[in-house]
Structures are given as C-alpha cells and as structure tokens.
Amino acid sequence: NAGVTQTPKFRVLKTGQSMTLLCAQDMNHEYMYWYRQDPGMGLRLIHYSVGEGTTAKGEVPDGYNVSRLKKQNFLLGLESAAPSQTSVYFCASSNLAGAQGSEQYFGPGTRLTVT
C-alpha cells in the first residue's frame, strides 16, 4: 500500500515552460487536493476534487490547471511557468470532505524551481 505518491520529486523549469505534476493514491479516496508550500506561508490550497471528473478552485488557483480523469489520479498543470511558482507542491487525499473530519494523507512533495 503506497498511499499517496507524487511524480516527479524535483524539477527545474525555465520561465514559460510547461509541465504536469502527477499525484496517485491507492486508498480509493474520493477527495484529492493540491497545495503549495512557501516559507512562512503555510499550506495554501490550489485546486481540489470531490470525485472523479470534478475539479474546483482553491485559494491560489491562478496559473494552474488540474484534471481528475481517474479516481486514483490528480494532475496539476503549469501551462507557462513563472518564477513566482517556485515552491514545494504537495498532493493530499481523504475519504471524507474537510468538514466531516477526515485525515488528509499527503504525498512526499515535489520541489519545483522556475528560473
């Protein structure tokens, strides 16, 4: 049981390049989330999904797109990377919605640098 995995672990992009971060979970969770973590800023929600085929905007969605074509996968895309998107990205999943009190299981993170 791998839990939540993320690919890649590290990536360096040049400004304007695009990339996709992959999150996979094997716990059959309905809810999946993408966060970014910056020093002193905590965890900020980018986008989330409440089930296969659904996506919704979080606190900081600009510059990112997501897709949830399969229940176990949640993809985060950067169409035209900017230095402001340099961050550590965490994916998480849970079997209940936030307010229902379910633990969010986090992936190991992806460290992205945009030069």
Partner 1 sequence: GENVEQHPSTLSVQEGDSAVIKCTYSDSASNYFPWYKQELGKRPQLIIDIRSNVGEKKDQRIAVTLNKTAKHFSLHITETQPEDSAVYFCAASFTGSYQLTFGKGTKLSVIP
Q: Which one among 13, 23, 24, 31 touches partner 1, defined by CB under 8 A?
A: 31
Q: What are phi and psi of 9, to 5 degrees?
A: -85, -35
* Complex with partner 1: residue 14 or 42, whichever CB lies closer: 42
Shortest distance, CB of residue 31 to partner 1, whole angstroms?
6
Q: What are phi and psi of 105, to 5 degrees?
A: -100, 125
**Angstrom distances, CA of residue 107 to CA of 84, 95, 115:** 22, 15, 25
**Binding site residues, partner 1, CB under 8 A:** 31, 33, 40-45, 48, 50, 56, 58-59, 90, 97-101, 103-104, 106-109
